[in-house]
Structure 1
Amino acid sequence: MEIPPKTRPRLFLIDAYALIYRSYFAFIRRPLMNSRGENTSAPFGFTNFLEQLKTDFDPEYLAVVFDAGDSFREEIFPDYKATREKMPDDLRASIPRVRAIVEGFRDPVIELDGYEADDVIGTLARKADAAGLEAVIVSGDKDFYQLVDDHVHLLNPGRGGPNGVDADWVDLRNADEKFGIPPSQVIDYLALIGDSSDNVPGAPGIGPKTAVKLLQQFGDVESILAAAPELKAKRSRESLTENADSVRMSRELVTIKTDLPVDLDLDRLKVGEPDFAELRDLFLDLEFRRLAEKYTRGALEADAIESAAAREATYRTLTSVEQVAEWVEQARAEGRVAVGVEASLPDPMRGRLIGMALSAADGNAVYLPFDHHATAALELDLGDPTEPVPNLPPLSDPAMAPLRHLLADPEVALVGHDLKTTLLLLKRAGSPLGGGLRDAMVASYVLDPGRRSHDLDALAMEILAHRTTPRDEVVGKGRQRIGFAEVALDAARDHACERVDCAWRLWSRFEPELEEHALLPLFDDLEMPLVPVLARMEERGIRVDTEVLHEMSTKLRGELALIEEEIYKLAGMEFNLNSTPQLREVLFDRLELPVLKKTKTGPSTDASVLEELAADGHEVPRLMLEYRELEKLRNTYVDALPRLVHRTTGRIHTSFNQTVAATGRLSSSDPNLQNIPIRTALGREVRKAFVADQGFQLLGVDYSQIELRVLAHFSGDAPLVEAFRKGIDVHRQTAAVIFDVDIEEVGAAQRAQAKTINFATLYGQGAFSLARQLGISREMAQSFIDQYFERFRGVRAFLDAQVEQAKEKGYVTTLLGRRRYVPELKSRNWNVRQFGERVAQNTPIQGTAADMIKKAMLEVDEGLESGGFGARMLLQVHDELLFEVPVEEMDSVRELVVSRMEGAMALEVPLVAEWGVGDSWYDAKG
């Protein structure tokens, strides 16, 4: 796109709806959605284009022009634009957002009642020319070609996507390339060919080539119509003769007005600074994180909100034990302290404490260096690294006793973000935490588990409108990256203090919100007491027998080699089984299997495709599924777990994540011990490697059918409640209903199908999903679902009521009051709404089960502690707890765990906890 140099100041006139439509349809295959189910494609695309326009062209003047009601054209021709499709509802809903964004950029919106944007733009373009400006019309509308002259240009923004069109600058040099005629003939050209998109009739049968030929021969429409009876071409002669009035009307319809009563107010149109704070708030609400960060920085600079200079003045480094003692004495009077730590490694079980930040007042914080050594590279520009670092004595030193006593004082509330990590690191450094914990990360999760991120940077941006300094700006990137211990002290201080200051201020915001939404009991009585329990579980870890894993690895390699050889034989060639392009070539070119799904790069080879092909009897897809499962097992667990064994403890220390799953469930990572495959014999064998210490055994206790029991409690469905109260196998009962047989006659296969149906209804799956799982027709699957809800009518009523509550209140709740917001129900996208209905239906069930296991963990932990047992809780995996128990304590501990788990909550049906004991996790699962 060649852009000529400016000869005059430029006024950019943006055709708002043209750009809005372009932005919306650029994402039509994968619309952008925020967490409330709002389609944000148009606001996002419009914003990016507006920014790019200002960056690339640096316009002196700019206006965004909107249509304003019906125009005079409807009076001339009532069917004008009658064939246009109605604007999609989700696009219409985003128009106010776009207007707000334009307002935030402080760009004027211009609209004239009763006129289309084209006519307003045409008038302003001509007035700009007369005032000594160049006008640049930003639109892809072909009608604007009629306006191009020496000082009126077009900028076609183009469109993205696989069939995208580049942006294009149009002036007198290239204006005739579009239609093969100069701008002066565009009106006549459009009048002849008509416009199907605007329902402009033109002359039927006169196409672009004929129109150009006629205009080149006769010059204009009136001359063509006058000569029409003498034309040799029969089709043209008859069409022009019979439709002369229609052509004249069409010419009037396509002519852009240039004389409307709209002023060219250059003072108003002058481009200025945007309203950074307004745009920041808008982009936060729309969940455009990158844009929100950008305009937060602008807001800080423009409005001096919490400027860096003001904040630095409140951050101090304490370099002596006397200063620490003095600060502790002042902080104790507040009764609340925020604490944050900086470590040598992210893993608190491996990293060492480098420094600590503390705060006891909004906007004030201190930094305590413990293990800094100043060898940072000068090019990082983080202060003078050659100065000696005045490190404090270790936390365990007697001189640091006042600080240790403060942090362990049960009367002092301890505020922070991710306090579990803080707790682990400080305990290893010799300073256990003892106060009431107030974790801003957990508070954010309790308030809105569906929030996209609960990390400190995201929360500071969203809640405090503050951009924190990224860690990469402190420690550098790539080869220049250094350890935090090497960071110059002033930079370390500012980074650590900023984070603890944000945690303090976040908690100040979250506490009243928790109280307002009646969520403080859930936070205080369940989530926060769980933090130290999880920390102790992580600290203990679990022993792993690496020899078992090495033997499994050898076995897996042998099985993989056999499968690989069989695939090569069936394919008739060798290829890389892990290469998607090569597998695609074998399946769809060489073996000529049917293509079931396509991606941007070709036919899909994902698991769903392979499963469907395997179900149709194709061997290579079946073997590929087996190969992938075994390869994942080998790479993810069998070969990976030995590398994760802690060199000092000889155990694996997973991390339990409290703020990830929107249902309230815990998850684990590094490694993820909740995803160890258990459906295959080989997958289950991985658990043989998890073993007890000498003199101990592993005790596994698992809730039986907990989610179905919770469903029975919530729904009050009489047959379901009765089944659990009488100890009837609920899957056999369902099978008896579905297959119309006596419960005693239910076979194993029927029970297995009924189990699938029970859980399919529990999770809101439809007939299509159930049919695929059971390998039956969709009609039969629907019949099963209908029979299920006919028999268990209370279940249907409960699930429907949850959807209605979510629509009315915006959220559903668990038995303990945990909320999950369901913005998807407001979406205009059917698939998104269906997902929202499933969320509304199963969250109260899954969430209550999650709350129950958490409550059980607290009850069991308290019981083990008060009973003086040597047993240790090691893992929580879904509805199971795993313990390492001294052999002599096993009977007492088993009884305690089972009773505490079964009594964790009072439901309308009994809770049942099943147990197993063994030297390995595999043995304990029976």
Structure 2
Amino acid sequence: MKKLFLFDAMALIYRAHFAFAKTPRISSKGINTSAVFGFANTILEVINKEKPDYLGVAFDTPKPTFRHIEYTPYKAQRQEQPEDITIAIPYVKRLVEAMDIPMLILDGYEADDVIGTIAKKAVRANPDIEVYMMTPDKDYGQLVEERIKMYKPAFMGKGVEVLGPKEVCQRWNIANVDQVIDMLGLMGDAVDNIPGIPGVGEKTAQKLIEQFGSLENLLDNTDQLKGKLQENLINFREQGILSKHLARIMLEVPIEYEEEKLKATPPNRALLEPLLEELEFRTLRKRILGEDEPVVAKVKASPKVDANQMDMFGSPAPSTATTPDTEEEEVSTTSYSNLSNTAHQYHLVQGENAIKSLISFLDRQDSFCFDTETTSLVAIEAALVGMSFSYRKGEAFYVPFPEDPAACQAQADLFKAIFAKESTIKIAQNIKYDMSVLRNYGIEIKGATYDTMLAHYLIEPEKRHGMDALALAYLSYEPMSIENLIGKKGAKQGNMREVELNLIKEYAAEDADITLQLKPFLDKQLTTNPKAVQLLHEVEMPLARVLSTIECEGVNLDVPFLQEMSKTLEADSKAVQEKIFATAGQEFNIASPKQLGEILFEKLKLDPKAKKTKTGQYMTGEEVLTKLEAEHEIASLILDFRELQKLKSTYVDALPALISPKTGRIHTSFMQAVTATGRLSSKDPNLQNIPIRTVRGREIRKAFIPRDENHLILSADYSQIELRIMAAFSKDESMLDAFNNGLDVHKATAAKVFHVPLEEVTSDMRRKAKTVNFGIIYGVSAFGLAAQLAISRTEAKEIIDQYFVEFPKVKTFMDQSIADARENGYVETVLGRRRYLRDILSANMNERGFAERNAINAPIQGSAADMIKVAMIQIQDFLERENLKSKMILTVHDELVFDAHKDEVDYLKTQINKIMCEAMDLGVAMETGIGVGENWLEAH
């Protein structure tokens, strides 16, 4: 997925200006450059860390907008723009121009209108693009959807926040993002002088929207309210409607979406150099242009090592001081250390004798750090370009590998013994990737391992864990960027084999050296939580090895089946399209919200209260269509059409293209350090997302087949694992009794909540109880439960209240989890995995509520993740110990999938069930569902 970043210039300029209010940056000419500096840093941080494919910066203009014309007081109360910001704006525009980033400006429209319009056009025009709107402005929440997210910059110690629909809804405590403008219409916005309804603040607005769904519905039902609130809603009805109108971001700005013009390109040095010189931004000059303004002290040369220079491997550790060459030179003012201003000895190791000598020194160490340089980020396809090693600070060794496959393999064979040595600890950053690459050459890493990425993941699960970020945070060191070697990501990016040898030596050796230096800092932080140390060495590190094995095995795909399914989906799409046209009485573009809205709400008149944008375009999202299904057949047909289109493009046509030409199978990449809860995720392809909820979606699983005729697919899935963990944590006797006696827990819950004998529980009662059981874990509200079950909020509240009466220890556990989070600032899983909840004491009700729900859910979901990880480690150990032909090939949430040899199926079923159920003793019976079939669907 490609990234488009759209920056709200004025919001970021103001933010940067006030961030430096107490300690402004003043140039030698007396100019306050704080806003320009802060803005530049923000842009650069995104470019370096997020690697956007497309960029655009939107500016407001002095010309009045339709909001000023329709409501004269709009923004009229704002204080006069600070003089320093007025001075800064032209500099910022020059900076954006020099960075070769398009400026998006149109008189009569605000930056948020421009960004909103471009964002929506981008995702409609390109299904392979994801838009990030960089702004601190909360109003942008109304624009968020699956591929359009808010990207709130870091502020006051709080890191970057990426907000999708789920996060926006949680932040505002609303059901859908469309309700952001309902909230603003009620509350108003003091910053923009939008009046809202007098006496209505955030809490009252949230309650009203929860009850009535929208501002319009609320204003049409004021008879259900009383007192001053009712009076204000009646008297200020038009003011509320106007406020919502003013708060709505326009999505039809007459500005073209020109994707090619938004492509990220290198800066224009001719414009940038004199600007940075004028602003006296020496540090930024280095970061952007890759060179220091002052000359830095030279470092000791890094000699090539050959058979006649063996003493290099045993040389003393280099001095931490820089060594001038012949005369005293100016020290760099760069804020971070880097290769150019830090003493280091990085050696090039070539020739068999030199390599063997290096290996002999590695063999004497208790531990060493290593890193691989390869031709691809896809491990199964990657060929070795080189390996780097370090075993003491400031010194490292780079070994280039020949391009010829046979010669490369012969050189790789030299390293087999040192990686197989059990007593030596091997240190790396993202070691799973290196393990997988080395497997391509028959090299197995044995003994203890240490991954700096995983160590930091356990320390700060929600922060970035890349080596560059860790180096900046712990060592105040800025490593060389890969883009300095092979260019920016994209079609023009080069290959590591094309890089000049001395340059790749510096880059690769630095990786090993810096990773080695990070370990003691991470160890010190890890020891503040002894459970985290154990979790790293007994779960995450062994799991990395297991995941590498699974990834290398890959999954067999039935391509002819998918090709036939593609044809069927295409035919079905056309058939459904014809039905839609027949039902509508005309042909139209089903993918066009504008045309679809006109058909549904003007021609067919399905909903007289249908929501519109201010430009008259109707809302036609899934939620709207789902509500219309009972009213008219066309809504169901459109939902069917959209599902068919998505299944075909996202899965059926896409999966065959991801088959490895080397193995003929699909090899996903599992990510250990992404989710804050500890759950695994996967990418390229994301096999965690294979559809399961619809009949058509489930059919895709038929394409996942055994590796050959001697194998079957075996699926083993934990049954209700999170509910069982909830029972274990709460120690609620009723829940424990149901699970330990093999009862249907949802039926048992229904019997208690609805006060009927077990045998009299109806399917509808069980359905409601099941929804409550799982909803409680995620802090479901009466509003949320009512929406899920299509019942009144009153009935939903009664069900939840009765649930807590019948299961009082569940409520006690939930309250205690929140209390513990408030006291400690975090919650823990059974194995000590921590989730930090920095907003648990927030004065903001929505932020605090989100943290409280996480305080309940994180220990449960995290413990479930811990359990399946432990089970995976034990199962892989069992498969290898027994020398079985069967292989573990996938993990999806609470499910494990195997290529099971037909001769081993019965034994596997017994042993896998035993291992999974006994992986962790929580005092509650665990249960699995195990199936076997000719494909994944049949097995599942």
2:643 paired residue among 622, 629, 637: 629
What residue number does 2:677 align with? 663
Q: Secondary structure at 2:689's aligned position in 1?
A: coil
8 Å CA contact retained: 1:319, 1:392: no
What residue number does 1:770 align with? 785
Counterparts of 1:702 and 1:736 in 2: how far apart (Å)? 26
2:352 paired residue among 317, 321, 333: 321
User: Cα distance 1:164–1:667, how it changes in 2: closer, same or farther (>3 A)?
Assistant: closer
1:654 paired residue among 655, 668, 672: 668
Bigger mean CA deviation after superposition, 337-346 or 317-326? 317-326
Structure 2 matches for 1:410-809, cutoff 5 A?
410-451=422-463, 453-477=464-488, 480-518=492-530, 519-587=532-600, 591=604, 593=607, 594-596=609-611, 603-614=618-629, 617-692=631-706, 693-809=708-824
Counterparts of 1:694 and 1:165 in 2: how far apart (Å)? 60
Counterparts of 2:29 and 2:583 in 1: how far apart (Å)? 64
User: Cα distance 1:51–1:904, how it changes in 2: closer, same or farther (>3 A)?
Assistant: same
What residue number does 2:237 align with? none
Please report how far the alpha carbon of residue 609 of structure 1 lies from its aligned counterpart in structure 2 after TM superposition. Answer: 3.4
Please report how far the alpha carbon of residue 581 of structure 1 lies from its aligned counterpart in structure 2 after TM superposition. Answer: 4.4
Counterparts of 1:144 and 1:790 in 2: how far apart (Å)? 58
Give unmatched runs, 5+ long, in structure 2: 1-6, 42-74, 93-104, 113-189, 192-277, 297-329
Q: Secondary structure at 1:414's aligned position in 2?
A: strand
Query: Is 2:341 the counterpart of 1:341?
Result: no
Q: Secondary structure at 2:714's aligned position in 1?
A: strand
Please report how far the alpha carbon of residue 394 of structure 1 lies from its aligned counterpart in structure 2 after TM superposition. Answer: 4.2
Output the amino acid matched with 1:670.
D
User: Cα distance 1:777–1:475, how it changes in 2: closer, same or farther (>3 A)?
Assistant: same
Structure 2 matches for 1:312-391, cutoff 5 A?
313-371=344-402
8 Å CA contact retained: 1:320, 1:392: no
8 Å CA contact retained: 2:453, 2:466: yes
Counterparts of 1:667 and 1:705 in 2: how far apart (Å)? 20
Query: Is 2:833 the counterpart of 1:861?
Result: no
User: Cα distance 1:610–1:823, how it changes in 2: closer, same or farther (>3 A)?
Assistant: farther
Please report how far the alpha carbon of residue 501 of structure 1 lies from its aligned counterpart in structure 2 after TM superposition. Answer: 2.2
What residue number does 1:810 align with? 825
User: Cα distance 1:165–1:506, how it changes in 2: closer, same or farther (>3 A)?
Assistant: closer
Structure 2 matches for 1:826-845, cutoff 5 A?
826-845=841-860
8 Å CA contact retained: 2:283, 2:335: no
1:914 paired residue among 929, 932, 937: 929
User: Cα distance 1:407–1:829, how it changes in 2: closer, same or farther (>3 A)?
Assistant: same
RMSD: 4.2
User: Cα distance 1:405–1:886, how it changes in 2: closer, same or farther (>3 A)?
Assistant: same
User: Cα distance 1:456–1:294, how it changes in 2: closer, same or farther (>3 A)?
Assistant: farther
Output the amino acid matched with 2:933.
G
Residues 387-443 of structure 1, C-alpha deviations (whole Å, 9 max, x = no match)? xxxx9984542x665532212211111111111110111121232222311111111
8 Å CA contact retained: 1:365, 1:501: yes
Counterparts of 1:310 and 1:600 in 2: how far apart (Å)? 57
8 Å CA contact retained: 1:321, 1:400: no
What residue number does 2:320 align with? none
Counterparts of 2:848 and 2:813 in 1: how far apart (Å)? 18
User: Cα distance 1:480–1:668, how it changes in 2: closer, same or farther (>3 A)?
Assistant: closer
Give unmatched runs, 5+ long, in structure 1: 1-22, 33-40, 65-97, 102-138, 167-195, 198-270, 281-288, 373-390
Please report how far the alpha carbon of residue 908 of structure 1 lies from its aligned counterpart in structure 2 after TM superposition. Answer: 1.9
Output the amino acid matched with 1:659.
A
Counterparts of 1:595 and 1:49 in 2: how far apart (Å)? 47
Q: Secondary structure at 1:787's aligned position in 2?
A: helix
User: Cα distance 1:371–1:363, how it changes in 2: closer, same or farther (>3 A)?
Assistant: same
Structure 2 matches for 1:73-222, cutoff 5 A?
164=110
Counterparts of 1:418 and 1:521 in 2: how far apart (Å)? 19
Percent sequence identity over aligned pairs: 35
Bigger mean CA deviation after superposition, 731-740 or 898-907? 731-740
Q: Secondary structure at 2:379's aligned position in 1?
A: coil
8 Å CA contact retained: 1:369, 1:392: no
8 Å CA contact retained: 2:678, 2:865: yes
Structure 2 matches for 1:229-240, cutoff 5 A?
none
Please report how far the alpha carbon of residue 737 of structure 1 lies from its aligned counterpart in structure 2 after TM superposition. Answer: 2.7
Q: Secondary structure at 1:917's aligned position in 2?
A: strand
Please report how far the alpha carbon of residue 605 of structure 1 lies from its aligned counterpart in structure 2 after TM superposition. Answer: 3.6
Residues 167-220 of structure 1, C-alpha deviations (whole Å, 9 max, x = no match)? xxxxxxxxxxxxxxxxxxxxxxxxxxxxx99xxxxxxxxxxxxxxxxxxxxxxx
Counterparts of 1:626 and 1:24 in 2: how far apart (Å)? 37
Considering only CA atoms, is the larger Rg found in Structure 1 or Structure 2?
Answer: 1
Please report how far the alpha carbon of residue 731 of structure 1 lies from its aligned counterpart in structure 2 after TM superposition. Answer: 0.4
2:30 paired residue among 60, 63, 69: 60
Counterparts of 1:922 and 1:747 in 2: how far apart (Å)? 29
Output the amino acid matched with 1:629.
E
User: Cα distance 1:155–1:923, how it changes in 2: closer, same or farther (>3 A)?
Assistant: closer
Bigger mean CA deviation after superposition, 807-816 or 667-676? 667-676
Bigger mean CA deviation after superposition, 641-650 or 678-687? 641-650
Q: Secondary structure at 2:381's aligned position in 1?
A: coil
Residues 557-611 of structure 1, C-alpha deviations (whole Å, 9 max, x = no match)? 1221122222223344333333444445544555554444759996544333333
8 Å CA contact retained: 1:371, 1:485: no
User: Cα distance 1:344–1:51, how it changes in 2: closer, same or farther (>3 A)?
Assistant: farther
Q: TM-score, normalised by structure 1?
A: 0.67
Counterparts of 1:322 and 1:597 in 2: how far apart (Å)? 75
Query: Is 2:57 the counterpart of 1:46?
Result: no
User: Cα distance 1:590–1:545, how it changes in 2: closer, same or farther (>3 A)?
Assistant: same
User: Cα distance 1:142–1:600, how it changes in 2: closer, same or farther (>3 A)?
Assistant: closer
Residues 725-754 of structure 1, C-alpha deviations (whole Å, 9 max, x = no match)? 221111011222333322111122221221
Counterparts of 1:493 and 1:50 in 2: how far apart (Å)? 44
Residues 886-911 of structure 1, C-alpha deviations (whole Å, 9 max, x = no match)? 11111111111111111111122111
8 Å CA contact retained: 2:292, 2:332: no
